[in-house]
Amino acid sequence: MSDKAKLIALIMGSQSDWDTMRHAARVLNELEISFEPLIISAHRTPDRLVQFATGAKAKGFKVVIAGAGGAAHLPGMTAAFTTLPVLGVPVESKALSGQDSLYSIVQMPGGIPVGTLAIGKAGAINAALLAASILSLSDNALDQRLTAWRAAQTDAVALSPRDES
């Protein structure tokens, strides 16, 4: 990627979340949207969280995508420190299958929003697509790439199921 400020901060609570969040990275790459992947643990590196979230706007980020699991506080706490749009991805947890992650991210009190996507891989893909939608509002070229991406997705759906061989 270029030297320019990245558009998307793609943050996650730990290395283990990367297995999920790399799907967001892949889609951002396909749509040619610059991003910076970062590990920021709300609990183990709270200072890093504060520093990142308070400075994200000044650094030029336009959207934050945040993935976390269990008592997932990263998206909500980031949103508490910035007015940038924050999109949350509940990472599937071991015991509770991501239901704890989902509740911890989506049930924000009125006043601090986190746009929450589905649990796991689908949510990571969709966080990238929603970020693209947002950026497309002021970027016609991206809007066209997104529209083409969506059209290609539509075209890829077969008319009838086939038995696996």
What's the closest the beta carbon of residue 133 comes to a copy of itself, in angstroms?
Answer: 4
What's the closest the beta carbon of residue 9 comes to a copy of itself, in angstroms?
Answer: 11
138 is in an annotated binding site: no
Closer CB to a copy of itself, 34 or 106, in the complex: 106
150 is in an annotated binding site: no
The phi and psi torsions of 36 (rounded to 5 degrees) equal -125, 115
44 is in an annotated binding site: yes
Q: At how many degrees (to 10) do helices 121-136 and 18-30 cross?
A: 30
Please report where in the chains the tokens 């949510």 appear, as a residue.
123
Closer CB to a copy of itself, 33 or 62, in the complex: 62
Q: Please tell me the distance from the alpha carbon of residue 45 to that of residue 32, in angstroms, as a whole number.
A: 30
Closer CB to a copy of itself, 3 or 94, in the complex: 94
What's the closest the beta carbon of residue 159 comes to a copy of itself, in angstroms?
Answer: 6
Q: Please tell me the distance from the alpha carbon of residue 64 to that of residue 15, in angstroms, as a whole number.
A: 18
Residue of 27, 47, 38 lying closest to 149 (CA atoms): 27
Numbered residues of the known binding site for substrate: 14, 17, 44
Numbered residues of the known binding site: 14, 17, 44
